[in-house]
Amino acid sequence: MQHIGQDVIELVVAVTWCIWYNRNKARHGSRRQSTNEILHKARTILEDFQAAHFKLPQLTSPSDARWVRPSYPWFKINTDAALFNDLRTVGIGAIICDHEGEVIATLSQHLQLPLGPLEAEAKVLDVAVLFAWDIGIRDVIFETDSNMVFTILSGSTTPPTTIVDFMESIQLKLHDFRYSQVQHVCRQGNKPAHALVQHAKGIHGFVTWIEECPQFIESFVFHDAMYLSSS
């Protein structure tokens, strides 16, 4: 992988499997495929697999400064982060709402980490993606007011080395969702998440609130250990 890249290795594996499959079919009387046919089949299989398992999230720019509730069955998660320079710490916040605009869950976390502004915005999105998955949400829109994080996830900007790990973690987790979008929201439309960030300044560790309905009850008991470990 260091010398030829993962894409070449994946194609070699697919071609090898197709050769093996072709030989087995030939043993049972089927026609042997040509080299070009085997290569075409391998590329088709690989493309189908990647399309099914590694679809990129949709990314859209804000069309309105106001917060807009999602359509059913989507949930919307707004995130924000801030540096507490006097404490040399970071606060992050996330709020999840359903298609009726009702709050489903919130998270405030005080991080004892020396992060910069961009790193903090990347960190909160990474935490929010994990938070959404763990409470059972599968169709989700993530909104961030960090234009830099948004453009990096859209592929139009290369991430600086300080947040490469965060970006890779976010993209990997997003692939697990049934449907996902990442949007850039104006600061005016992100006020509830900002309020949760300010709340984080007065707490130690993290605080979550989750609507007590059957969809989310089962995962509720896992949050304490999980998010303390992620700090």
CA distances from 154 to 37, 54, 94 (A): 35, 15, 21
Lookup: tokens for 11: 């194609």
Contacts of residues 193-196 at CB distance under 8 Å and 24 or more positions apart, as own/partner, are 193/78, 193/79, 193/80, 193/93, 193/94, 193/95, 194/80, 194/82, 194/93, 195/93, 196/80, 196/93, 196/94, 196/95, 196/106, 196/107, 196/108
Mean pLDDT, the chain, as a whole number? 82
Question: pTM for the full model?
Answer: 0.66
Of 12, 10, 33, 7, the C-alpha closest to 21 is 33
How many percent of the chain have pLDDT more than 70? 81
Residue with tokens 């924000």: 80
Confidence of residue 61 (pLDDT cuts 50, 70, 90): low
Q: Tokens 């320079």 correspond to what residue?
A: 85
pLDDT per position as a tens digit, 74-128: 999 999 999 998 888 999 999 999 999 999 999 999 999 888 999 999 999 999 9
pLDDT at 3: 55
Dist CA 194 CA 227 (whole Å): 20
